[in-house]
């Protein structure tokens, strides 16, 4: 741990020097980048405009494309069309020995590693709450989910939170990354994630029958409690 800390500390100090010339480097890079983008070919997997016209639309499309009954093939080209080139999907969790783990997959690696399971076992994942933050064309969402093997299952076999990064290129929305972790004992989903709150507008919405005022009430208090209750995550 001490070795890791020392390396991380050196990296942070190095970032200060990097920042001194980052602005100049960006200015030099913009012109050729714009030329490359102008010459770029059409996407290999064109998206349905209805899937990418809004934040709600692309979020619904992500959950929908991975869901379906056992034996049903998924439309993986549709999934590919939702993600920007170079996008990452990163599952996290704690193994049986209590060691924290994180995968780091491309979209193709996700399809290769998870696709067969989803199609063979049956998998329905639904969004059960969301907190949205937006600055310009960049959006971050904490999207709570539950997962079932069939649409008729009375209870989910797992719940958790997906951390989405989205970007709008002026014409459509893209998924840049998804980082997620399943709920576990001692790591329950905060109540403030089980409604919907858009920090860019300050508006609360209801989701899955939850009263939005109830979901937002006491969020600051819960955030403090979460920090006290999950100190092992530091």
Domain extent, residue 206, equals: 49-233
Is residue 28 located within the same domain as residue 54? no
Helix then strand count (H, E) for the chain reads: 7, 8
Confidence of residue 44 (pLDDT cuts 50, 70, 90): confident
Confidence (pLDDT) at 199: 56
Is residue 137 located within the same domain as residue 23? no
- Helix/strand/coil percent split, the chain, to 5: 40, 30, 25
Which residues neighbour 13 within 8 Å (Cβ) at sequence distance 6 or greater? Answer: none
Is residue 194 located within the same domain as residue 85? yes
Rg (alpha carbons) of the chain, rounded to whole number: 20
pLDDT digits (tens, 9 = 90+) for 140-188: 999 999 999 999 999 999 999 999 999 999 999 999 999 999 999 889 9
Confidence (pLDDT) at 190: 95
Q: Is it the case that residue 58 has pLDDT exceeding 60?
A: yes
Q: Is it the case that residue 93 has pLDDT exceeding 70?
A: yes
Domain count for the chain: 2
Nearest 5°: phi and psi at 170?
100, -15
Is residue 135 located within the same domain as residue 109? yes
pLDDT digits (tens, 9 = 90+) for 67-79: 999 999 999 999 9
Is residue 28 located within the same domain as residue 61? no
CA distance 111 to 118: 10
Question: What percentage of the chain has pLDDT greater than the value 90?
Answer: 61
Is residue 204 located within the same domain as residue 183? yes
* DSSP label at residue 171: S
Pairing of strands 138-148, 83-94: unpaired
pTM above threshold 0.85: no
Domain with 229 in it: what CATH number? 3.10.450.50
């Amino acid at each position: 741990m001490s070795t890791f800390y020392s390396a991380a500390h050196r990296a942070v100090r190095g970032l200060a020097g990097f920042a001194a010339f980052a602005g100049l480097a960006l200015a030099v890079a913009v012109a050729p980048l714009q030329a490359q983008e102008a010459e770029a070919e059409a996407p290999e997997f064109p998206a349905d405009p209805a899937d990418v016209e809004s934040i709600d639309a692309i979020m619904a499309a992500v959950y929908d494309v991975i869901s379906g009954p056992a034996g049903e093939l998924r439309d993986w080209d549709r999934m590919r069309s939702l993600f920007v080139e170079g996008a990452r999907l990163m599952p996290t969790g704690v193994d049986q020995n209590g060691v924290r783990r994180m995968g780091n997959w491309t979209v193709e690696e996700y399809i290769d590693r998870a696709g067969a399971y989803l199609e063979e076992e049956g998998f329905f994942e639904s969004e059960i709450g969301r907190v949205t933050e937006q600055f310009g064309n960049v959006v971050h969402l904490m999207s709570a989910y539950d997962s079932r093997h069939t649409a008729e299952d009375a209870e989910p076999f797992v719940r958790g939170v997906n951390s989405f990064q989205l970007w709008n290129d002026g014409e459509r929305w893209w998924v840049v990354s998804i980082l997620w972790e399943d709920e576990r004992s001692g790591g329950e989903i905060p109540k403030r994630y089980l409604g919907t709150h858009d920090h860019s507008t300050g508006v609360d919405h209801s989701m899955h029958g939850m009263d939005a005022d109830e979901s937002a009430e006491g969020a600051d208090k819960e955030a403090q409690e979460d920090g006290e209750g999950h100190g092992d995550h530091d």
